[in-house]
Structure formats: structure tokens, C-alpha cells
Amino acid sequence: MTLTPARKAELRERYLKVDTANVADILDEMGHPDHGLASSFWPIRESQNKMAGWAYTVRGQMTPYPGTGDPAKMEAVSGLEPGSISVWSGGGAQGVCFFGELIARGMQHRGCAGSLIDGGIRDIEWIAQMNFPVFTQYRSPVQSIGRWQVNAWQVPVYLPGATVDRVTVRPDDFILADFDGVMLIPQELVETVLEKAEALTRKEAAIREDLDRGMTLPDVLAKYGHV
């Protein structure tokens, strides 16, 4: 899929106006039922509970190594583009943080729209002040230096799923996250899913109006079908 930066920005802004629940329903209808991510991902701040963007993947592993930093991590995040979501994979249950406030700030300055982390973060109070949404698995003050190291980026990665053990996230797949959780939209379906989700959003708005005017649930079901 090749989209211009302007088109990608337009799609991202439109996705921010639909809900993960509607996207999940549309993917089910289209025969793609296993693109929800595990409910263990949570937003670090309720006021920054929604993010949308194009997956930029970073993969690492628990491994002891000497030195005072991880040059591969710095090189990896230098490739981030505006509207991207940095997706971090590798050893999510190991108890170390993958990044903190300073690297998050650097990513934000590159136009990164948020981060999805199958692992931990620290400096949450500072990150929460940045208007930079982050969905993560856990928090930990323990740094990754000497313990966890980036070994690849912009490659397919696995993240834990809601209905399957693993969901494959590829570079330029689309990530939508809100209060209900996180959905992956395969890159080849991004435009179709969005159009259908927007239509469902309009349908639900009409249903709310009818219910508020006193229509019963059986009447709504007869008029609109599944609700």
C-alpha cells in the first residue's frame, strides 16, 4: 500500500473519530476476527486514552550486554515519521522498562503519534504531561540498559492478542486504541474498514437519537437490525 503523507494524515484524523468497538465489529463482518490486542494493554493517562497511527515496529529481547546505552534503540527511533505509532515488542513480561520520558520526548518531536508497548515504561508522570499517548503492559523503574536490547526494527512483530495468543503487526499496519482497548487494522484494509466504521458510527448516532426520543429496543432492532 502506497499512500501520500497527506492521505495518511487524513486517514489518521478520521480514525480518531471512530471507536475501536466499531472497528472490531467491521473486521468481524469482513471475516477478520482476530485483530484485537490483549486487554492487558492500558493507557497511562485517561485524558490521553485515544491514539491512531501507522505502526513503526521495534523488536528487542532480554539479553545481558556491556556498555552504558543501546545504540540500536537510538537508530531505530530515528526513523519515525509523523503520524506513526512506535510498536515495541519483545519480552513483555520481564519487568524492565523499554523507554522513559526523554526517549518519548524525542519521538514526539519527530511527529510520533504515540506508543504501544508490550513491556514496561517509567517516568509516567513526566510522559503524562507531554500530551503523548502511551498504551503499555506495565510500569517499572528498572531500566533496560544492560538487560534488554533492540535487535531489529521495521520488521513484523508479535503482540499478545485478545482472541489468539499472538497477533502479527507489520510496518504500516494501522493501530487504533481507546478506552475499550487496541485494534490492529491490516494495511490493505485501512481505507475499507474506515469507511464502514464511519457508516456504523453514523448509524449508531441515529439509534441514540431514536432511543432518546422514546423508541423501544425492540423497535430499534426492527428498524436497524443488530445493535
Binding-site residues, please?
A: 100-103, 122-123
Cα gap 197→33, rounded to integer Å? 15
Q: Which residues contact 220 (CB under 8 A, 6 or more apart)?
A: 207, 210, 211, 227
Angstrom distances, CA of residue 138 to CA of 10, 63, 81, 129, 159: 32, 19, 26, 19, 14
Asked if 198 contacts 26 with a C-beta cutoff of 8 angstroms, the reply is no
Cα gap 185→55, rounded to integer Å? 10
Q: What are 139's three cell numbers?
A: 510500569
CB burial readout 130-162, b (16+ within 10 A) else e: eebbbbbbbebeeebeebbbbebbeeebebbbb
∠ Cα 8 14 17 (to 5°): 150
Q: What are 89's three cell numbers?
A: 515488542
Alpha carbon dihedral 193, 161, 113, 26, in 10-degree steps, equals 10
Task: List residues forming the annotated binding site for substrate.
Answer: 100-103, 122-123
